[in-house]
Amino acid sequence: MRDLDSSLLRAFVTVVETGAVSAAAMRLARTQAAVSMQLRRLEEEVGQRLLERSPRGVRLTDAGHRLLPYAHTILGAGADARRALSAEQVAGTVRLGLLEDIAVGRLPHALRRFSSAYPQVALEIVVDGSEALSQRLGEGSLDVVVGDPALIEATPLFAWTQPLFWVGARGFSRSPDEPLAIVAFGAGCLWQQQVLTLLRRAGFAWRVVCTSTSLPAVQSAVEAGLGVAVLLEGNIRPDAMRVLGANDGLPEPPTADFGLFARSVASNQATAVQALQTFLCEELQLGETVPQLA
């Protein structure tokens, strides 16, 4: 059994995170044809189709959902090895603010790897809404923040968009004669209003059967079959949920906007903050050049 090629896995992960081969090609500085060829090679190597392609972009198949966390782990291990070799001179405390949608996905596992690679860096994490994170960043009680650019009063070092997915319980089947049951996020979720607007414009009859500001509560309600919701890929639980789409009669879901923000810090803290900032850029695949903190 041959090892999976990390370059093929990186192409796969990047296409999933950007939602399109064209966007992935730009991020990877490759041609669309080259990225498409890498995807075909990976599918041939694993013997299964990993992505459903359409003019609107790509969607993960069940096999793709199963492979994705392993791809993250394999790619992360290589990056961790590089970090561990350069970690001796990095020390200090970094206070990181995250939206719950990011904090409940794969990033916490990555942050554990960060702590292992940089044992002399004390990482303090705050999970809150974007408006609260914005206030803490302005007050200086947070050093780095990942949140919604529309709600944070600062200029992001990086801004990016992630696709959202309709999800329902594994046994979900939509009845066209009944209003679509929606499991909704509460106040402060900008994309939830976009979802309802999309349904209204598409002429869908819908009703909100559950509302919560807690992501785990929304996930549990979907798993229980109460209704459907829109989630980031990293928050989908493939063992209990399935991704819905055009075949289920649903409109194209909106996308979610995020930004990476950092404040200027004292020189004795700068190396630790810079290390976390670089780590986040690599994990979120935001680009090769990481701005230096003032």
Looking at the fold, whether 126 and 240 belong to one and the same domain comes out as: no
Q: Is the pTM of this model over 0.75?
A: no
The domain total for the chain is 3
Q: What is the pLDDT of residue 54?
A: 74
Looking at 51, 80, 109, the residue that finishes a domain is 80
The position carrying tokens 């949608």 is 101
pLDDT in tens, 104-120: 766 777 788 888 888 88
Report how far residue 268's alpha carbon sits from residue 134's, in angstroms, rounded to the nearest whole number.
24
Under DSSP, the state recorded for 19 is S
Which has more pLDDT, 177 or 169?
Answer: 169
Query: What is the 3 state secondary structure string of 224-283?
Result: CCCCEEEEEHHHCCCCCEEEECHHHCCCCCCEEEEEEEECCCCHHHHHHHHHHHHHHHHH
Looking at the fold, whether 183 and 241 belong to one and the same domain comes out as: yes
Query: Is 35 contained in some domain?
Result: yes
Q: What is the pLDDT of residue 294?
A: 32
Looking at the fold, whether 69 and 184 belong to one and the same domain comes out as: no
User: The domain that contains 145 carries what CATH number?
Assistant: 3.40.190.10
> Which residue in 159, 204, 197 sits closest to 179, CA to CA?
204
Looking at the fold, whether 119 and 242 belong to one and the same domain comes out as: no
User: The domain that contains 67 carries what CATH number?
Assistant: 1.10.10.10
Looking at 80, 113, 134, the residue that finishes a domain is 80
* 92 φ/ψ angles, rounded to the nearest 5 degrees: 135, -175
Looking at the fold, whether 170 and 246 belong to one and the same domain comes out as: yes
Looking at the fold, whether 178 and 247 belong to one and the same domain comes out as: yes
Looking at the fold, whether 104 and 130 belong to one and the same domain comes out as: yes
Tell whether the model's pLDDT for residue 161 goes beyond 70.
yes
Q: What is the pLDDT of residue 223?
A: 94
Looking at the fold, whether 221 and 185 belong to one and the same domain comes out as: yes
Domain of residue 19 covers: 6-80
Report how far residue 67's alpha carbon sits from residue 62's, in angstroms, rounded to the nearest whole number.
9
> Which residue in 58, 67, 248 sits closest to 166, CA to CA?
248
Tell whether the model's pLDDT for residue 286 goes beyond 80.
no
Looking at the fold, whether 115 and 56 belong to one and the same domain comes out as: no
- From residue 235, alpha-carbon distances to 38, 65, 231, 240, 258 in Å are 26, 11, 6, 12, 15
Under DSSP, the state recorded for 211 is E
Looking at the fold, whether 105 and 125 belong to one and the same domain comes out as: yes
Cα angle 124, 94, 91; round to 5 = 120
* Residues facing residue 168 across a β-bridge: 242
Q: How confident is the model at residue 187 (pLDDT cuts 50, 70, 90)?
A: low
Q: How confident is the model at residue 155 (pLDDT cuts 50, 70, 90)?
A: very high
Q: What is the pLDDT of residue 292?
A: 36
Query: Is 85 contained in some domain?
Result: no
Identify the three-state secondary structure at position 181. Answer: strand
Looking at the fold, whether 113 and 187 belong to one and the same domain comes out as: no
Whether residue 261 contacts residue 192, with contact meaning beta carbons closer than 8 Å, is answered with: no
Looking at the fold, whether 156 and 167 belong to one and the same domain comes out as: no
Query: What is the 3 state secondary structure string of 45-108?
Result: HHCCCCEEEECCEEEECHHHHHHHHHHHHHHHHHHHHHHHHCCCCCCEEEEEEECHHHHCCCHH
Query: Is 288 contained in some domain?
Result: no
Q: Is the dihedral of CA 18, 224, 48, 77 positive or negative?
A: positive
pLDDT in tens, 68-82: 888 888 887 777 777
Query: Is 1 contained in some domain?
Result: no
3-state helix, strand, coil in the chain (%, to 5): 45, 25, 35
Region 117-133: mean pLDDT is 89
